[in-house]
Amino acid sequence: MPPTAEAPSTYRALRYLAPNAITAASLVFGMVSVVSAHTGRWDLAGWMIIYAVLTDRMDGFVARLVKGTSDFGVQLDSFADFLNFGLAPSFLMYSFLTVHPALGFDHGWHRALLIVACIAWVMGAVFRLARFNIAAEDGVPTKIFFGIPTTLAGGLLIIWYLAFLKYADPAVSTIEFGGAKIYGSVHTPQGVWMWFPVAMLIGAALMASNLRMLKVGSFPNRAASAAVLVIVLGGYLGGFLRMYPELMVVPPTAWIVVFLIWGQTSAKVRGLEAPPVFPRAGDGKLHTRPQEDLAVDEDLDAEP
């Protein structure tokens, strides 16, 4: 039976819908994280951000698999990244640290530092996402990042948070995590929490920086790519089961340390130019803001 005229368009719509549906699910994780942090479900708020990290990898994979990449999908993914890795981690950190008076962030200069760190984190994420969109449009080399991606920065901050929360002193948290405590009865020193605003400031600077870093899956060596795939799959397993954050911190931390150093020392990428924030001199492209679309064209007002 020959296909109907509607079949191709239906298939095409489903092809583009698949990755965007995953991105929409990621947005839901971000919203649940914010609500959970507001209601004091600190572990759930953190794991929802980790879920968003995992689905952020999936939507791109599905889009390439079904050839459903679109400009709309790119923009939707960017908005999801802002919520999941910009706003949600910042809100979680502020909510958790200020609600526990013993940590000292409910008053004084510690509170001021935390506020500045949260603002800087959100601004760094926005800056990073905006410049990533520019890089995509300008055809900047795709095997490296300029600046730490928001997904990696947000995921790393939160998985460290979850690892420390799992071993937190009972005066700070009595939340039970899935899986055994690999480090036994060790408790997170209270002073560790004082460093989270500093980590957020550093993370914001890294997101907004021009530092080069290799993307996951860019290895020319098949053995290395296979090893990375196994580690990534292990992260998916631990993340969705909400277990062993103390182990999950190792791969992304090692990745950032190793490939930040590699990106600044490798002769292959050291000379690559980061995409400009503002248009270059002599750029003839017309740049408009969305609200300028509301301007009425003079030709439309002309009499027939």
- Domain limits at 167? 85-273
Residues 77 and 247: their CA atoms lie apart, in Å, by: 28
Tens digits of residue pLDDT in 135-184? 655 555 467 788 899 999 999 999 999 999 999 888 888 888 877 888 88
Q: Is residue 110 part of a domain?
A: yes
Q: Is residue 78 part of a domain?
A: no
Residue 243 domain flag: yes
Q: What is the pLDDT of residue 290?
A: 53
| Mean pLDDT, residues 86-110 | 92
Q: Which residue has the higher pLDDT, 92 or 76?
A: 92
pLDDT of residue 179: 77
Q: Is residue 252 part of a domain?
A: yes
Euclidean distance between CA atoms 54 and 76, whole angstroms: 16
Does residue 241 sit within a domain? yes
The pLDDT tens digits for 236-279 are 777 777 888 988 898 889 889 988 888 888 887 777 777 666 66
Average of per-residue pLDDT values in the chain: 81
Query: pLDDT tens, 111-129?
Result: 999 999 999 999 999 999 8
pLDDT at res. 122: 97
Asked whether residue 221 is domain-assigned, the answer is yes
Q: Which of these ranges, 19-28, 58-67, 276-285, has the smallest mean pLDDT?
A: 276-285
Smallest CA-to-CA distance from 36 within 49, 52, 23 is with: 49
Q: Is residue 256 in some structural domain?
A: yes
In-domain check, residue 130 = yes
Counting the structural domains of the chain, the total is 1
Q: pTM of the prediction?
A: 0.84
What's the CA gap between 160 and 201, in Å, rounded? 15
Q: What is the mean pLDDT of residues 193-199?
A: 95
pLDDT at 199 over 60: yes
